[in-house]
């Protein structure tokens, strides 16, 4: 394919230098995370172009190198051999052409998209966005042989407008291969409801429109961003990030894909993560055949107290997507995360009476740790609460509470008393357990991912508690419980 271009090269260079410069301001910032991916400086949102290409994992992301607010969108870039240790690379894509750039206009750029390997080439497909232009969103291609420097296709855009009946919101192409063809879904809407148009191609450059793979129901939002349609075991799954959906924000549907008719039929729908800070989830299949998901660990509704530190936005830990025997989605932290563990400690058989708490703080562990807690529920009442208080202040007034409500059968994360800059809220998810409950927590400087050990339920939140809030307690309310085991590790700092 014919590639452009000097302008792009210059803009990439300029943006990369800007990040280098701003990095110095950010290095000692207090909320920097220890093992969650962040940009060296500036703003980030969606993960883009997740892929393992010639053995190396690539993570691209929506990025404003020029400040800690959303602005002209670039693609930041990092590579890794293990999904945990990431090495920052030069900016991969910068707005430079009439379909993704306009002088004086800040609402422009290289919006979200995906990556595929085309032989040795690392091939990117993204949305060129220029607000105020008609059409304002088109699909464009770029490619690289060294996996670092990307050139844009000289005949971009490869899809120059949305089909007539779709809205002008037409972005976030996700490409995959099936039976000798390339397929693409794009995020859009039709008559005020989310929709994913499907495209097909033989060469990644000429695309034919195949109709909508799926349209939203009344309650599933008025625009679907960041679609991701992929095979999983004997099924297909479709992830979308709906705008203005009253009871959800990032859903996964499992069902059947009919490639002849270009239609996806969902058989189940699930909110991927019930926390506040989870959006724009994307997946890819790695060379071991694992389907791995990473999401932006924030949303558009989130407050960003780290903006004053010169950076904003982070990614969740990588999670493997699996289906259980009932074809229900579960997400498991990738085993590579275990390489971060040190300072193991285990406490066994802690009995708590009703309304009792037990301090399990480890003074040798700082803000980043992993915890596994096994509750034995056999002698527990069918009402009351059991759980942990985390990031508790010395006077006990500030805390993040994680508990299981035995009566309502819900897993709950309550940040109403967290203090600091934490957004006060209560997140709940239904969870039916009987004899035991195993919870797993990943705490970092300003984030908390809580999950059931089998990966069924997840709640991800940003926690901006005071950094000297460090106590951890087990507690009960209205029932007794035996905690079979509390295992903790501190997790190493690997991210700069
Ligand atoms: C989702 C999103 C995408 C868009 C990008 C812009 O968070 O709105 O639809 O491509 O962010 O940065």
Query: Phi/psi class of residue 192: alpha, beta or left (left: φ > 0; alpha: ψ in -120 to 50)?
Result: left
Q: Which ligand 1 atom lies nearest to the CA of residue 46?
A: 7
Q: How far is the CA of 225 from the centre of ligand 1 (A)?
A: 7
Q: Same structural domain for residues 318 and 377?
A: no
Q: How far is the CA of 113 from the centre of ligand 1 (A)?
A: 9
DSSP string, 364-378: T--S-EEEEEEEE-T
In a domain, 11, yes or no: yes
Locus of tokens 């690289």: 144
Q: Same structural domain for residues 301 and 417?
A: no
- Residue 391 in 3-state DSSP? strand
Active site residue 46: yes
pLDDT tens by residue, the chain, 496 residues: 676 678 999 999 999 999 999 999 897 899 999 999 999 999 999 999 999 999 999 999 999 999 999 999 999 999 999 999 999 999 999 999 999 999 999 999 999 999 999 999 999 999 999 999 999 999 999 999 999 999 999 999 999 999 999 999 999 999 999 999 999 999 999 999 999 999 999 999 999 999 999 999 999 999 999 999 999 999 999 999 999 998 899 999 999 999 999 999 999 999 999 999 999 999 999 999 999 999 999 999 988 999 999 999 999 999 999 999 999 999 999 999 999 999 999 999 999 999 999 999 999 999 999 999 999 999 898 899 999 999 999 999 999 999 999 999 999 999 999 999 999 999 999 999 989 999 999 999 999 999 999 999 999 999 999 999 999 999 999 999 999 999 999 999 998 7
> In CATH, what number is assigned to the domain containing residue 225?
2.115.10.20
Q: Determine if ligand 1 sits within 6 Å of the CB of residue 282.
A: no
Structure tokens at 125: 């497909």
Q: Same structural domain for residues 113 and 219?
A: yes
Q: Determine if ligand 1 sits within 6 Å of the CB of residue 137.
A: no
pLDDT computed for residue 4 by the predictor: 67
Mutate to test the pocket of ligand 1, among 67, 111, 189, 239 (most ligand atoms within 8 A of CB): 111
Q: 28, 46, 169, 374: which is the annotated catalytic residue?
A: 46
Query: Which one of 300, 333, 366 terminates a domain?
Result: 333
In a domain, 289, yes or no: yes
Q: Same structural domain for residues 293 and 171?
A: yes
Q: Determine if ligand 1 sits within 6 Å of the CB of residue 172.
A: yes
Q: Determine if ligand 1 sits within 6 Å of the CB of residue 280.
A: yes
> What's the total number of domains in the chain?
2
Tell me how many degrees the CA angle 183-283-234 measures, rounded to the nearest 5.
70
In a domain, 350, yes or no: yes
Q: Which residues pair with 444 in a beta bridge?
A: 447
CA distance 377 to 405: 12
Computed from CA positions of residues 16, 18, 21, 23, in that sequence, does the dihedral angle turn out positive or negative? negative
Which residue's CA is minimally distant from atom 6 of ligand 1?
Answer: 111
User: Measuring CA to CA, which residue among 217, 240, 237, 214 is closest to residue 227?
Assistant: 240
Q: Same structural domain for residues 283 and 416?
A: no
Q: Same structural domain for residues 276 and 413?
A: no
pLDDT computed for residue 109 by the predictor: 98
Mutate to test the pocket of ligand 1, among 42, 43, 46, 194 (most ligand atoms within 8 A of CB): 46
Query: By residue range, what is the domain housing residue 80?
Result: 3-333
In a domain, 408, yes or no: yes
CA-to-CA dists, residue 446 to 232, 279, 466, angstroms = 33, 17, 10
Q: Determine if ligand 1 sits within 6 Å of the CB of residue 73.
A: yes
In a domain, 382, yes or no: yes
Q: Determine if ligand 1 sits within 6 Å of the CB of residue 302.
A: no
Q: How far is the CA of 300 from the centre of ligand 1 (A)?
A: 9
Q: Same structural domain for residues 255 and 281?
A: yes
Q: Determine if ligand 1 sits within 6 Å of the CB of residue 225.
A: yes
Q: Same structural domain for residues 210 and 305?
A: yes
Query: Which one of 333, 350, 379 terminates a domain?
Result: 333
Residue 168 DSSP symbol: S
Contacts of 198 by beta carbon, 8 Å cutoff, 6+ apart: 183, 184, 185, 209, 210, 211, 212, 213, 262
> In CATH, what number is assigned to the domain containing residue 466?
2.60.120.560
Mutate to test the pocket of ligand 1, among 171, 221, 240 (most ligand atoms within 8 A of CB): 171
Q: Determine if ligand 1 sits within 6 Å of the CB of residue 46.
A: yes
Structure tokens at 414: 């309550």
Q: Same structural domain for residues 397 and 453?
A: yes
Q: Same structural domain for residues 282 and 162?
A: yes
CA distance 244 to 194: 10
In a domain, 496, yes or no: no
- Residue 21 in 3-state DSSP? helix
Strand order in the sheet with 369-376: 341-352, 481-491, 369-376, 436-444, 447-452, 458-462
Q: Same structural domain for residues 322 and 458?
A: no
User: Measuring CA to CA, which residue among 1, 76, 90 is closest to residue 37?
Assistant: 76
Q: Same structural domain for residues 123 and 254?
A: yes
Tell me how many degrees the CA angle 301-302-304 measures, rounded to the nearest 5.
140
Query: Which one of 333, 353, 388 terminates a domain?
Result: 333
In a domain, 214, yes or no: yes
CA distance 280 to 64: 17
């Amino acid at each position: 394919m014919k590639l452009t271009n000097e302008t792009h090269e210059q803009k990439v260079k300029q943006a990369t230098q800007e990040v280098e410069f701003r990095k110095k301001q950010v290095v000692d910032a207090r909320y920097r995370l220890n093992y969650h991916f962040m940009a060296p400086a500036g703003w980030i949102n969606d993960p883009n172009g997740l892929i393992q290409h010639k053995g190396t994992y690539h993570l691209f992301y929506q990025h404003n190198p020029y400040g800690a607010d959303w602005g002209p969108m670039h693609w930041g870039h990092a590579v890794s051999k293990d999904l945990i240790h990431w090495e920052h690379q030069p900016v991969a894509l910068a707005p430079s052409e009439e379909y993704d750039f306009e002088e004086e206009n800040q609402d422009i750029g290289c919006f979200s998209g995906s990556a595929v390997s085309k032989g040795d080439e690392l091939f990117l497909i993204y949305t060129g966005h220029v607000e105020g232009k008609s059409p304002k969103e088109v699909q464009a291609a770029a490619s690289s042989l060294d996996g670092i420097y990307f050139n844009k296709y000289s005949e971009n855009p490869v899809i120059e407008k949305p089909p007539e009946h779709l809205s002008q919101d037409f972005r976030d192409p996700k490409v995959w291969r099936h039976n000798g063809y390339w397929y693409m879904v794009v995020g859009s809407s039709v008559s005020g409801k989310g929709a994913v148009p499907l495209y097909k191609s033989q060469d990644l450059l000429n695309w034919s429109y195949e109709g909508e793979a799926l349209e939203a129901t009344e309650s599933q939002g008025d625009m679907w961003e960041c679609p991701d349609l992929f095979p999983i075991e004997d099924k297909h799954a479709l992830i979308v990030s709906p705008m203005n959906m009253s009871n959800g924000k990032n859903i996964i549907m499992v069902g059947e894909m009919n490639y002849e008719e270009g239609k996806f039929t969902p058989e189940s729908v699930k909110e991927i993560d019930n926390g506040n800070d989870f959006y724009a989830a994307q997946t890819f299949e790695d060379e071991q055949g694992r389907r791995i998901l990473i999401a932006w660990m924030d949303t558009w509704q989130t407050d960003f107290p780290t903006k004053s530190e010169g950076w904003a936005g982070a990614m969740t830990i990588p999670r493997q997507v699996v289906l259980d025997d009932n074809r229900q989605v579960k997400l498991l932290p990738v085993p590579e995360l275990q390489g971060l563990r040190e300072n193991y400690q285990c406490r066994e058989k802690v009995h708590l009476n009703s309304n009792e708490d037990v301090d399990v703080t480890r003074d040798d562990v700082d803000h980043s740790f992993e915890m596994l807690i096994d509750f034995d529920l056999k002698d527990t009442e069918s009402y009351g609460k059991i759980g942990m208080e985390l990031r508790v202040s010395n006077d006990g007034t500030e805390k993040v509470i994680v508990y299981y409500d035995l009566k309502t059968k819900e897993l709950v994360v309550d940040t109403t008393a967290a203090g600091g800059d934490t957004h006060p809220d209560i997140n709940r998810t239904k969870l039916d357990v009987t004899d035991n409950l195993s919870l797993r927590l990943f705490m970092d400087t300003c984030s908390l991912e809580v999950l059931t050990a089998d990966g069924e339920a997840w709640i991800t939140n940003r926690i901006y508690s005071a950094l000297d809030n460090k106590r951890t307690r087990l507690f009960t309310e209205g029932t007794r419980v035996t905690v079979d085991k509390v295992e903790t590790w501190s997790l190493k700092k690997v991210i700069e």
